[in-house]
Chain A
């Protein structure tokens, strides 16, 4: 909490005094390579997306994306330092060079793209804003929440959607602003707010980890579109390309049935795109963005394809049990569709 204050100031100072960090010559890729690891901004803790397991390892859907990126660059998924960032400080941290990339359930919006000068690399998860309530509150629809006290995290699309939604439906509410998921959860459990609203995926993850998940429910209404994805700051297109195509590679891998387990069995495949992707063909098209020929091979080998990452962190085997729904490959009825690797 106090950190966020320091953050603002260091960020402001960073912007002013920092040795020109993003100077036009040194590309982010070079800076990262020289440093020897990737600085990846993740959330301070959102079950399924970013957290720390019993052995102290960073795990989660967002975490795994950064591991794939690190594997692509260094052939080492462990060459990442994770920087936990609250929603309110994340953009400042990225803009001031505190992190190289942000993978922190961040919604791609127009103003973040244009006004905040961020470059979004794609969508890792199509989400929407939901509300969680205690079942004994006797509320079954968000439209019954007139006059409710609502816990929200500051600096999110959540608080803006909330304002819009209640106004559009002629309802009033009392916001209880918090700085992170843990605080929202605590306020919600203590009954200091009637409902906790954020991205539905995070609500599911949070609910499952409550003491009595069955006492709580996520209301059926989804009040917004929240396409979540990784982002970098404006000004280094090659760096953005690398992040974007690592994500695309994970999606293509699922489409083509390439998994971390069977990836070596594609050496003789007749599918030219797979050879281009894995660097097993003659052409080295990864060199076009200054990456090693086997970058995508290493990424997929390290974390598995998109489907494996989803299943491990959000699917049935994670306990959170989110269905794939729209977050499935277009070949499976979803809307994940990567441009061709050519």
Chain B
């Protein structure tokens, strides 16, 4: 027996790169060192430059009086509040636009996506025009255009004045559409309205229970109950009945013209409407394409099989195709929702006071804290984006195929 003696290789420094056993680790270490050095250089340079400008880095400005007014406030705020409160007002305004925008964009997007696959040539082409039109024109232009249309083509509040006014309120004199926004009736929750709400919630529960029941019947006997009509009945009848039994506890406060503007009522500003609509239309074009490709990803055999079973086309869509398509649709939707949220920072173009407008706009300018404000702003958008994706990812898991 002769054994071959492998020479035990001595470790040489060069092996860190030449030897595959070490190479990947050493490359990672090197990259890390460069990264840390880069970050260090940036921070160091920043501090030095700020020092040359006589500036420091401090967040204490957040607790000082803001001094400016904000028109749309979801929480109490006056010009005596702090910059931190102003930032919070802006954050809520951003979230409001993002929330309403995402819902609208989804609804429109799903319709557009489905209709683009319509067999009706005109409808399909119209949807293509819609999608291409919104996708290929910069969002900023859409925002500004919707806003310009709203301010230029709706009447001023003054036009509602006088004996023979040029403009009048619509829908039983309850809604005023002006070039400063739309004023809606404001519900007043009087005594007893808590019972009304309770009745309403119970009817919702009733609908859910009835649907379960109907599903069971259908499973066991194949009989179809008129689910839609019964649900609508449960939805409206008890609440309306109790509304009168309780003596109309909820009343509407109508907007009315006083002085320069409409008083009372809920004021939905044109800046909000323009921004939300433009964001929703723009994003819905992308969502439409996602929905379309999701539907096309489901093999034709599924449709044919369902048709062979005698299902009607809309049933096939809602019961067979869409549930399966969702698995393809949901992941790219996340990035659309993130886009919409981040794009809402164009708000300042129409004077909508989102967080970019308050913290990253007026506060930044009045306090000269551009570094601090930008860091906070980036932190906010990063947090919101991560939150949105993790929430949707959570839901996404429930759509995935579960082996039975």
Residue ranges of A at the interface with B (Cβ–Cβ < 8 Å): 1-2, 4-5, 8-9, 11-12, 15-18, 20-24, 87-89, 91-92, 95-96, 111-112, 115-117, 137, 145-149, 154-155, 159-160, 162-164, 167, 173-179, 183, 186-187, 190-194, 233-235
Name B259's contact: one of A22, A146, A162, A163 (CB within 8 Å): A146
- Is there an interface contact between A8 and B52, defined as CB atoms closer than 8 Å? no
Interface string of B324-366 (1 = CB under 8 A from A): 0000000000000000000001101101010011001110111
Name A115's contact: one of B67, B367, B370, B374 (CB within 8 Å): B367
Name A167's contact: one of B49, B79, B144 (CB within 8 Å): B79
Question: Is B48 in contact with chain A by the CB < 8 A criterion?
Answer: yes
For chain B, the count of residues having a C-beta within 8 Å of the partner chain is 51
Contacts of B55 in A (CB 8 A): 95, 117
Task: Give 25 pairs: A residue, B residue, CB < 8 Å, sorted on A.
Answer: A1-B349, A5-B348, A16-B42, A20-B52, A91-B365, A92-B364, A92-B365, A117-B368, A146-B259, A149-B180, A154-B357, A155-B362, A164-B67, A174-B261, A175-B69, A177-B71, A177-B351, A177-B357, A179-B348, A179-B351, A191-B156, A192-B270, A194-B260, A233-B53, A234-B53
Contacts of B375 in A (CB 8 A): 12
Shortest Cβ distance from B353 into chain A, in angstroms?
7
Shortest Cβ distance from B275 into chain A, in angstroms?
12
Contacts A88-B365, A115-B368, A117-B55 given; indicate if A5 touches B151 (C-beta within 8 A).
Answer: no
- Is there an interface contact between B374 and A147, defined as CB atoms closer than 8 Å? no
Contacts of A116 in B (CB 8 A): 367-368
Docked CA distance A294–B52 (Å)? 32
Interface string of B46-61 (1 = CB under 8 A from A): 1011101111000000
- Is there an interface contact between B259 and A147, defined as CB atoms closer than 8 Å? yes
Contacts of B48 in A (CB 8 A): 20
Docked CA distance A178–B357 (Å)? 10
Name A190's contact: one of B70, B179, B353, B364 (CB within 8 Å): B179
- Is there an interface contact between B52 and A176, defined as CB atoms closer than 8 Å? no
- Is there an interface contact between A5 and B345, defined as CB atoms closer than 8 Å? yes
- Is there an interface contact between B346 and A1, defined as CB atoms closer than 8 Å? yes
Shortest Cβ distance from A117 into chain B, in angstroms?
5
Shortest Cβ distance from A14 into chain B, in angstroms?
9
Contacts of B53 in A (CB 8 A): 22, 95, 117, 233-235
Shortest Cβ distance from B349 into chain A, in angstroms?
4
Shortest Cβ distance from B171 into chain A, in angstroms?
23
Question: Is B23 in contact with chain A by the CB < 8 A criterion?
Answer: no
- Is there an interface contact between A163 and B368, defined as CB atoms closer than 8 Å? no
Q: Which residue of A lies closest to B67 (CB)?
A: A160
- Is there an interface contact between B348 and A154, defined as CB atoms closer than 8 Å? yes
- Is there an interface contact between B365 and A155, defined as CB atoms closer than 8 Å? yes
Contacts of A194 in B (CB 8 A): 260
Shortest Cβ distance from B59 into chain A, in angstroms?
14
Question: Is B45 in contact with chain A by the CB < 8 A criterion?
Answer: yes
Docked CA distance A271–B367 (Å)? 46
Shortest Cβ distance from A120 into chain B, in angstroms?
14
Contacts of A18 in B (CB 8 A): 45, 49
- Is there an interface contact between B54 and A235, defined as CB atoms closer than 8 Å? yes
- Is there an interface contact between B151 and A192, defined as CB atoms closer than 8 Å? yes
- Is there an interface contact between B261 and A12, defined as CB atoms closer than 8 Å? no
Beyond A163-B69, A164-B79, 15 additional pairs, beta carbon < 8 A: A1-B144, A1-B348, A15-B50, A15-B371, A16-B43, A16-B46, A20-B49, A95-B368, A115-B368, A137-B158, A159-B68, A167-B79, A175-B70, A179-B349, A235-B54
- Is there an interface contact between A149 and B261, defined as CB atoms closer than 8 Å? yes
Shortest Cβ distance from B52 into chain A, in angstroms?
5
- Is there an interface contact between A191 and B52, defined as CB atoms closer than 8 Å? no
The 9 closest A-B CB pairs, nearest first, are A155-B365, A116-B368, A191-B156, A16-B46, A12-B374, A163-B79, A1-B349, A234-B54, A147-B259
- Is there an interface contact between A154 and B362, defined as CB atoms closer than 8 Å? yes
Q: Which residue of A lies closest to B43 (CB)?
A: A16
Contacts of B353 in A (CB 8 A): 177
Taking CB atoms and an 8 Å cut-off, the chain B residues in 48-90 that contact chain A are 48-50, 52-55, 67-71, 79
Taking CB atoms and an 8 Å cut-off, the chain B residues in 177-204 that contact chain A are 179-180
Question: Is B223 in contact with chain A by the CB < 8 A criterion?
Answer: no
Q: Which residue of A lies closest to B144 (CB)?
A: A1
Contacts of A175 in B (CB 8 A): 69-71
- Is there an interface contact between B374 and A8, defined as CB atoms closer than 8 Å? yes
Q: Which residue of B lies closest to A2 (CB)?
A: B140
- Is there an interface contact between B69 and A8, defined as CB atoms closer than 8 Å? no
Contacts of A160 in B (CB 8 A): 67-68, 366
Q: Which residue of B lies closest to A4 (CB)?
A: B348
Contacts of B370 in A (CB 8 A): 8, 11-12, 15, 92, 95-96
Q: Which residue of B lies closest to A160 (CB)?
A: B67
Q: Which residue of B lies closest to A117 (CB)?
A: B54
Contacts A15-B370, A24-B52 given; indicate if A154 touches B361 (C-beta within 8 A).
Answer: yes
- Is there an interface contact between A2 and B346, defined as CB atoms closer than 8 Å? yes
Question: Is B304 in contact with chain A by the CB < 8 A criterion?
Answer: no
- Is there an interface contact between A159 and B69, defined as CB atoms closer than 8 Å? yes
Question: Is B152 in contact with chain A by the CB < 8 A criterion?
Answer: yes
Question: Is B258 in contact with chain A by the CB < 8 A criterion?
Answer: yes
Docked CA distance A148–B71 (Å)? 12
**Residue from the set A91, A167, A178, A191 with the largest chain B CB neighbour count within 10 Å:** A191
Contacts A8-B364, A115-B368, A163-B79 given; indicate if A147 touches B260 (C-beta within 8 A).
Answer: yes
Shortest Cβ distance from A182 into chain B, in angstroms?
12
Contacts of A167 in B (CB 8 A): 79
Shortest Cβ distance from B399 into chain A, in angstroms?
35
Q: Which residue of B lies closest to A136 (CB)?
A: B158
Shortest Cβ distance from B137 into chain A, in angstroms?
14
- Is there an interface contact between A174 and B71, defined as CB atoms closer than 8 Å? yes
- Is there an interface contact between B260 and A23, defined as CB atoms closer than 8 Å? no
Shortest Cβ distance from B159 into chain A, in angstroms?
8
- Is there an interface contact between B45 and A17, defined as CB atoms closer than 8 Å? yes
Docked CA distance A89–B360 (Å)? 11
Shortest Cβ distance from B380 into chain A, in angstroms?
14
Contacts of A146 in B (CB 8 A): 259
Docked CA distance A23–B45 (Å)? 11
- Is there an interface contact between B45 and A20, defined as CB atoms closer than 8 Å? yes
Contacts of B360 in A (CB 8 A): 8
Taking CB atoms and an 8 Å cut-off, the chain B residues in 102-117 that contact chain A are none
Q: Which residue of B lies closest to A146 (CB)?
A: B259
- Is there an interface contact between A190 and B152, defined as CB atoms closer than 8 Å? yes
Docked CA distance A5–B381 (Å)? 14
Contacts of A112 in B (CB 8 A): 368
Docked CA distance A137–B68 (Å)? 26
Shortest Cβ distance from B100 into chain A, in angstroms?
21
- Is there an interface contact between B371 and A12, defined as CB atoms closer than 8 Å? yes
Docked CA distance A200–B220 (Å)? 80
